[in-house]
């Protein structure tokens, strides 16, 4: 039997407001426990919430970026449940009238193709506090700093068909929220959290299978792992005559498995009702249009422009537009050296390699975009060879020199294109290598092409990498063939 996987994601994005969604308390990360929760966040009697306009604006910007309908009226509801990190006894959320209606996101897949994933809706809600188990022996600590932090929950339609598509969707959401500047998207710090809904069905069946919801999968890689595990578990279960039950499961990265947490709750378990303390949110058309006018160039548009105007491949355009920081860095390198393709190669090759090795973000790169752009320019105008350029890059990376030109000067890397100087070096190498010359002359003609590599290497070494390799090649061939 052929099985098809169906995946829908619920992504919680922490919005980058300075204060909380319904109070003036700070949202800064990493403060002493319980120093940033006020009476409103704790739901103490007699206090009233006031909606933070910045959270509304950010939610609407997201909606516009995913081509969603923005309803004129949205309403906050209370989702009632008991949990130690929720002292109010309810979470303020939006159940029936979310702030962002149906939309769609274009995601780019590894083979360079794109796929449209529909957004069911996105709604605003507040985060809860945190239970801390580690520092308290036999007890649980409660830190309420996070209580009341604004979240945008983005709910997809079940449009993804494999783990790669799910990861690509999550990356697209990451790109959009970071381009908009409405979240730092940092999954490791919990600014972006994801619940993964997975089901399987026989290939060709129209109705959906029963799903399991895997909670709080907090990295791109874990999303793929959790899905792989779930798909296998569900198929095995069904093939052994069992059935999938609708439940909430937890992904455990250490054991690389999902485990049952609880059976799926229904909406009516939460006794949702409109929050009597908050007015419905009414957005007038002018407000929405004002925000639309201020949207920056978004990832999908940038990617398309990189392909169309700069002639980059779909793959390169996708990588270089994936984050706003990456795109800005690349564009500066390109402007400095004047060649998009070369700029793309250096940013994705030498630079990304070095950043990955040292686990640095592009904003932390020791080599600035301007420095890299100038360096690439020096390769293009033949001042230095590609090999010397790597040496210059390393020197800039290590802080040895302020510019490519400084390093080229200080290390004497200027390429020798004077053919007299190159010929002198070639003559010396030929004189020093009688055995190799004899071998070359005795070899069959079609083998000589390969054997010339030895001599090129020697000349390059003698010139400390500064001789122009094409020139060396051409002159060597002439001189050696004259000896035949
Ligand atoms: P709930 O309100 O119980 O969380 P929803 O119907 O709102 O459930 O769906 C939540 C998420 O689950 C959405 O992202 C949706 O696309 C996804 N989903 C719904 N049904 C399935 C299914 N059968 N298989 C996979 N994903 C599903
Ligand atoms: Mg849900």
Q: Which atom of ligand 1 is nearest to the CA of 157?
A: 16
In this prediction, residue 272 carries a pLDDT of 95
Query: Cα–Cα distance between 389 and 346 in angstroms, integer?
Result: 10
Give the closest ligand to the alpha carbon of residue 95. 1
Average pLDDT on 109-113 reads 83
| CA contacts within 13 A on the Cβ side of 270 | 18
Continuous segment of H or E residues that includes residue 132:
strand 130-132
Q: Is the CB of 47 under 6 A from ligand 1?
A: no
**What is the model's pLDDT at position 214?**
96
Is 90 exceeded by the pLDDT of residue 188? no
In whole angstroms, what is the distance from residue 300 CA to residue 169 CA? 12
> Is the per-residue pLDDT at 392 higher than 90?
yes
- Whether the CB of 121 sits within 6 Å of ligand 1: no
Ligand 2 center from residue 166 Cα (angstroms): 16
Q: Which of 110, 92, 117 is nearest to 20 (CA)?
A: 92
Instruction: Give the pairing of strands 192-202 and 212-215.
Output: antiparallel
Query: Ligand 1 atom 24: the closest Cα is on which residue?
Result: 199
Which H/E stretch holds residue 461?
helix 445-462
Q: What does the pLDDT look like over 199-256, one tens digit per residue? A: 999 999 999 999 999 998 989 999 999 999 999 999 999 999 999 999 999 999 999 9
Selection from 15, 3, 13 nearest residue 195 by Cα:
13
149 Cβ closer than 6 Å to some ligand 1 atom: no
**Atom of ligand 1 lying closest to residue 265 CA:** 3
Ligand 2 mean position, distance from CA 91 (Å): 14
Q: Whose CA is nearest to atom 3 of ligand 1?
A: 266
Mean pLDDT of the 137-159 span? 95
Q: Which pLDDT band holds residue 133 (cuts at 50, 70, 90)?
A: confident
Mean pLDDT computed over 380-387: 89
Mean pLDDT of 367-376: 97
Question: How far does residue 10's CA lie from ligand 2's centre (Å)?
Answer: 7
Ligand nearest to the CA of 208: 1
Question: Which ligand 1 atom lies nearest to the CA of residue 199?
Answer: 24
> What pLDDT does 355 receive?
96
Burial 300-324 (b: 16+ CB within 10 A, else e): bebbeebbeebebebebbbbbbbbb
Distance 220 CA to ligand 2 centre (A): 19
> What integer best gives the mean pLDDT of the chain?
93
Residue 345: is its pLDDT beyond 70?
yes
| Ligand 1 center–CA 338 separation, angstroms | 48
d(CA 309, CA 267): 49
Instruction: With beta carbons less than 8 A apart as the criterion, state whether 66 and 176 touch.
Output: yes
Q: Is the CB of residue 257 below 6 angstroms from any atom belonging to ligand 1?
A: no
Shortest-distance Cα residue to atom 5 of ligand 1: 155
Closest residue by Cα to residue 128 from 96, 80, 174, 173: 80
Probe target for ligand 1 pocket from 3, 197, 214, 270, with the most ligand atoms within 8 Å of CB: 197
Q: How far apart are CA 329 and CA 350, in angstroms?
A: 14
Residue 421 in this model has a pLDDT that exceeds 90: no
Going by alpha carbons, the residue nearest to atom 11 of ligand 1 is: 8
CA 249 to ligand 1 centroid distance, Å:
14
Residues 6+ apart with CB under 8 A from 291: 57, 60, 61, 64
Cα separation of 69 and 246, whole Å?
A: 30
Contact 7, 35 (CB under 8 A): no
Q: Across 47-102, where does the E strand assignment appear?
A: 73-74, 77-80, 90-93
Say what the pLDDT of residue 113 is: 86
CA–CA separation, 348 vs 404, rounded Å?
19
**Ligand 1 contact, 155 CB (< 6 A):** yes
Which of residues 137 and 115 earns the better pLDDT score? 115
Domains and CATH numbers, the chain: 3-287 (no CATH), 297-411 (no CATH), 419-482 (1.10.10.410)
pLDDT digits (tens, 9 = 90+) for 423-449: 999 999 999 999 999 999 998 888 888
pLDDT given for residue 267 in this prediction:
67
| pLDDT above 90 for 464 | no
- Sequential DSSP letters for 442-458: HS-HHHHHHHHHHHHHH
Token output for 159: 């449009």
- From the CB of 244, is ligand 1 less than 6 Å away? no
End-to-end CA distance of the chain: 69
pLDDT at 189: 86
* Range in 21-35, 181-195, 454-468 with the lowest mean pLDDT: 454-468
Q: Which two tokens stand for residue 241?
A: 């005559």
- pLDDT, residue 393, reads 97
Beta bridge partners of 3: 202
CA distance 411 to 404: 11
Annotate 193-248 with DSSP letters as a single string.
EEEEEEEEEETT--SPPP-EEEE---SHHHHHHHHHHHHHHHHHHHHTT-----EE
Could you tell me the distance, in angstroms and rounded to a whole number, from the CA of residue 195 to the centre of ligand 1? 10
- From the CA of 267, how far away is ligand 2's center (Å)? 9
Instruction: Establish whether residue 208 lines the binding site of ligand 1, counting it when its CB lies within 6 angstroms of any ligand atom.
Output: yes
**What's residue 207's pLDDT?**
97
Per the listing, tokens 């000896």 go with 483
d(CA 345, CA 323): 17
Residue nearest to atom 2 of ligand 1 (CA): 267
């Amino acid at each position: 039997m052929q099985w098809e996987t169906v995946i829908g994601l619920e992504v919680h994005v922490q919005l980058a407001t300075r204060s909380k969604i319904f109070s003036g308390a700070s949202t800064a990360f990493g403060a002493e426990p319980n120093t940033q929760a006020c009476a409103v966040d704790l739901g103490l009697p007699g206090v009233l919430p006031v909606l933070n306009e910045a959270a509304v604006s950010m939610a609407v910007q997201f909606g516009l970026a995913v081509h969603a309908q923005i309803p004129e009226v949205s309403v906050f509801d209370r989702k009632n449940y008991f949990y130690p990190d929720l002292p109010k006894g309810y979470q303020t959320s939006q159940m029936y009238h979310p702030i962002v209606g149906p939309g769609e996101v274009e995601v780019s897949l590894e083979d360079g193709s794109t796929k449209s994933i529909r957004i069911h809706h996105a709604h605003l809600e507040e985060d809860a506090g945190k239970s801390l188990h580690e520092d308290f022996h036999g007890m649980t600590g409660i830190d309420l700093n996070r209580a009341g932090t604004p979240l945008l929950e983005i709910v997809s339609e079940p449009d993804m068909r494999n783990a790669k598509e799910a990861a690509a969707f999550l990356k697209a959401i990451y790109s959009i929220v970071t381009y908009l500047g409405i979240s730092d998207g940092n999954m490791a710090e919990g600014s972006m959290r994801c619940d993964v809904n997975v089901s399987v069905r026989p290939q060709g069946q129209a109705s959906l299978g029963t799903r399991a919801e895997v909670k709080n999968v907090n990295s791109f890689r874990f999303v793929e792992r959790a899905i792989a595990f779930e798909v296998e578990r569900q198929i095995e279960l069904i093939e052994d005559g069992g059935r999938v039950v609708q439940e909430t499961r937890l992904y455990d990265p250490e054991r690389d498995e999902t485990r049952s947490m609880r059976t799926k709750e229904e909406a009516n378990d939460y006794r949702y009702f409109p929050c009597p303390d908050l007015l419905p949110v009414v957005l007038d058309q002018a407000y929405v249009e004002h925000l639309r006018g201020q949207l920056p160039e978004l990832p999908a548009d940038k990617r398309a422009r990189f392909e169309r105007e700069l002639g980059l491949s779909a793959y390169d355009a996708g990588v270089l537009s994936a984050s706003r920081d990456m795109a800005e860095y690349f564009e500066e390198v390109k402007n400095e050296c004047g060649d998009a393709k070369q700029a793309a190669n250096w940013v994705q090759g030498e630079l990304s390699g070095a950043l990955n090795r040292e686990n640095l973000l592009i904003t932390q790169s020791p080599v600035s975009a301007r420095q890299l752009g100038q360096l690439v320019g020096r390769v293009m105008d033949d001042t230095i060879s590609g090999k010397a350029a790597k040496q210059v890059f390393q020197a800039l990376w290590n802080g040895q020199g302020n510019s490519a030109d400084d390093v080229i000067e200080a290390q004497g890397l200027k390429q020798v294109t004077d053919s007299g100087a190159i010929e002198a070096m070639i003559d010396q190498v030929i004189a020093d290598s009688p055995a190799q010359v004899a071998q070359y002359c005795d070899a069959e003609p079609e083998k000589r092409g390969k054997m010339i590599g030895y001599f090129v290497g020697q000349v390059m070494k003698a010139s400390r990498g500064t001789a122009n390799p094409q020139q060396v090649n051409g002159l060597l061939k002439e001189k050696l063939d004259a000896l035949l």
